[in-house]
Structure 1
Amino acid sequence: MKRDLAKTLSYGFFHILVGFSIAFALTGSFAIASGIALIEPLANTVLYFFHERVWKRLGSRREAQEESPANHHNRAPA
């Protein structure tokens, strides 16, 4: 979980930096660029954290299914 949080914060920082840079280049306004750079990336950063958790959980389930004795019984011999 600590690694997920560190990745999320790192991703969020760069997302905000890029968002601000693009918005400022397009608008020339510090205030508008700041608003755009905070609202959109912060929402995506929160979404990214939960996205990572779901993928990790799906990976764990898949591994558990592949390792279950019932699944080994159904496999064809190699």
Structure 2
Amino acid sequence: MTKTMTFAALHFSVAFTVTYLLTGSLLVGGAVALVEPAINTVVFYFHEKVWKRYDAKKKHTLSTSSSVIHSH
């Protein structure tokens, strides 16, 4: 959990710093630092679901082709 929290703090810091440097606004930097990581977290959740489905399909394809090779 410590690693997750330090990564979150780093992510918020980067989002704030980049936005602040681009806009010069503390308000915009703070808003982006809160909104972007939250949206990114949701996107990451769905990315993981798709990736797991892809991985399972790949493993199934490999096991199917492997059993065909071994049966000959």
Distance in 2, Cα, partners of 1:53 & 1:13? 25
Distance in 2, Cα, partners of 1:43 & 1:58? 23
- TM-score w.r.t. structure 1 length? 0.61
User: Residue 59 of structure 1: CA displacement?
Assistant: 0.7
| 1:40 aligned residue | 36
| 1:49 aligned residue | 45
| 1:25 aligned residue | 21
Calculate the aligned-residue CA RMSD, in Å. 2.7
User: Of 52, 55, 58, which aligns to 1:59?
Assistant: 55
Structure 1 residues without counterparts, runs of 5 or longer: 1-5
Distance in 1, Cα, partners of 2:51 & 2:6? 19
- TM-score w.r.t. structure 2 length? 0.64
Structure 2 residues without counterparts, runs of 5 or longer: none
Q: Give the direction of change, closer, same or farther, for the CA distance of 1:58–1:11 in structure 2 (3 Å limit).
A: farther
